[in-house]
Amino acid sequence: MEKIDQNVLKRAQVWLDGNYDEQTKADVRRLLTEDPSVLADAFYRDLEFGTGGLRGIMGTGTNRMNKYTVGMATQGLSNYLKKMFADVAPISAAVSYDSRNNSRHFAQITAEVFAANGFKVYLFEDLRPTPELSYAIRYLGCQSGVMLTASHNPKEYNGYKAYWDDGAQLISPHDVQVIREVQQINSIDQVRWSGNPELISPIGKEIDEAYLRQVLALRLSPEAIERQKDLKIVYTPLHGTGRTIVPEILKRFGFTNVIIVKEQATADGNFPTVHSPNPEEHDALDMAIKQAEKEDADLVMATDPDADRVGIAVRDADGKFILLNGNQTAVLLFYYILNRWKELGRFTGKEYIVKTIVTTELLRDIAQSFNLACFDVLTGFKYIADIIRQQEGIKTFIAGGEESYGYLVGDFVRDKDAVSACAMIAETAAWITDQGGTLFDLLLEIYMTYSFYKESLLSLTKKGKTGAEEIQRMMIDYRTNPMQFINDIRVTAIRDYLSREEKNLETGKVKPLHLPVSNVLQFILEDGSVISVRPSGTEPKIKFYFGVRETLKETGDFDRVNRLLEEKITGIIQAMNLN
């Protein structure tokens, strides 16, 4: 039998000797005798409470998502909230959950620990999307909130997203200080497990209605929708929370021909029809696209289990369904909204949009053409929410987006929102259809007006300690020996978000970058290409984001220019020795 590390044995013994339930102890004993390798992974460390909360494989152990790790995280969060809101009585928190296995159970544990700490808890009576949880925090005047979800991860995972009083995920200084409080909870005996059940109130329909009214108020083209109400839309919630509310908002917007993929409409944490419930992956939309082809539909939309991301498929010039990436969907959505705001005379000169630094620069070009400010933020929607908070009462937020399929329209939610995004994407389709075009036609029109931007992502996994060291060496090398040319194109500037400086390689001038410190590098090329390099903070991965562009003079030239851009990205990858 494989020898078990003494530290792992010691940590497992704590669970056998402590005040853990008998089923948990039985699981530990079974792992000790039957599966030492799984035991080692389950106990070799504590499941890390990161800046976004918890995320991990479900099971018994310190490195697993279970009722004990969830309880300890909630106690640490409670301790911090009591320090920060000492003058608030009672402190209140909202709790929601998605369709994943154990999400409801973990939500109940979270609510009970909050209540045991004297908090007023608003617990959703049934699964609800992440954006509705964000909205509920603001609507109910809570100081915090928790969403039990692992977003689009495979079925083995679950997670715990912590929110602040503005409905946004934690940022500095709260994120680091909450992490510190959680780390100080080193025993389940420090957790207050049970309190007054009367402090826990079920919520649901009232929040649904208030939230839906806010989303409906985003509508910009009711007349076009009325004329195109029969637009055929196929929607799949991928067994998640979107089923509870996306069809309803599409109905309220005025769409009468929404076809739901029945096989994927049931809430099921095993996600039986997909390998992974991730709308960024082609396989996740296969079933919806097949149904759309059968029904001769116009648009396909898919949301992930907690309904904060949306992926879409549209018909190309030949009538074939193609998947759009997150950048393309953002471009269509933002372009439509800004056009309508202009046509409706809503601009006052104080509006703005927000994007992450690895999201297409085409959004900036579009914003500038409407004389709007475009804020860049680090990767993570919490930074978009931070800009909204900073600009409250100063400027008007219109929309924010990131390349990883997350969008936000309006500021009543402070996280990415696939519910409102689905409604506004459908409205965009109705608007362009009303003019005799398609979403693909609109995308080509945008490319011809500004430039044909094409983006690609390459993610390299480097496992283990040696892999982490290799990633570190790569970043050091990029900084100490920066490439002067990439794919025979001159590098004109390097942005280093670790030193928070941008250096112009032609003039030698250095200017500050006004964003938080982050281990990200960007290479700006002479032809406008942008290459971003970002190691993951939670996984043994390093990600490369490529953004290239060319002029597109006419729609018939799309295929040729598209191939040219693909070749340019391939050339960059080869020049950087990444293939």
The pLDDT tens digits for 335-377 are 999 999 999 999 999 999 999 999 999 999 999 999 999 999 9
CB within 8 Å of 292: residues ≥ 6 apart: 232, 234, 259, 299, 300, 313, 321
Q: Where in the chain is the domain with CATH 3.40.120.10?
A: 45-203, 215-220+227-435
Q: Quick check: is 151 catalytic?
A: yes
- Residue stretches of the chain with pLDDT short of 50: 1
Are the beta carbons of 398 and 409 closer than 8 angstroms? yes
pLDDT of residue 1: 47
Closest listed residue to residue 429, CA positions, set 289, 302, 332: 332
Q: Where in the chain is the domain with CATH 3.30.310?
A: 452-575
Q: Which value, in Å, is the radius of gyration of the alpha carbons in the chain?
A: 24
Are the beta carbons of 146 and 163 closer than 8 angstroms? yes
β-bridge mates for residue 235, sequence order: 260, 301
Distance, CA of 544 to chain centre: 18
Q: Which two tokens stand for residue 178?
A: 């909450």
Are the beta carbons of 299 and 438 closer than 8 angstroms? no
pLDDT of residue 463: 78
CA angle 520, 535, 160 (to 5 degrees): 110
36-43 vs 22-34: helix crossing angle, rounded to 10: 130
Specify the amino acid at residue 541: K
Are the beta carbons of 378 and 397 closer than 8 angstroms? no
β-bridge mates for residue 120, sequence order: 92
Given this structure, which CATH class describes domain 45-203? Answer: alpha beta
Of the residues 92, 144, 151, 456, only one is catalytic, namely: 151
Q: How far apart are the C-alpha atoms of 241 and 302, rounded to whole Å?
A: 11
HEC-encoded secondary structure of 40-57: HHHHCCCCCCECCEEEEE
Are the beta carbons of 159 and 47 closer than 8 angstroms? no
549: left (phi over 0), alpha (psi -120 to 50) or beta: beta
Average pLDDT, the chain: 96
Q: Which two tokens stand for residue 120?
A: 């007023």
Q: What is the pLDDT of residues 8-67, one digit of tens each?
A: 999 999 999 999 999 999 999 999 988 788 999 999 999 988 878 999 999 999 999 999
Diameter of the chain measured on Cα atoms: 74
CA angle 156, 158, 163 (to 5 degrees): 165
According to DSSP H, which parts of 35-129 are helical?
A: 36-43, 67-84, 103-116
Respond yes or no on whether the N-terminal peptide bond of residue 90 is cis (omega within 30° of 0).
yes
Superfamily of domain 215-220+227-435: Alpha-D-Glucose-1,6-Bisphosphate, subunit A, domain 3 (3.40.120.10)
β-bridge mates for residue 542, sequence order: 460, 535
Q: Residue 491 carries which DSSP code?
A: E
CA angle 123, 185, 165 (to 5 degrees): 40
528: left (phi over 0), alpha (psi -120 to 50) or beta: left
**CATH no. of 452-575:** 3.30.310
pTM value > 0.75: yes
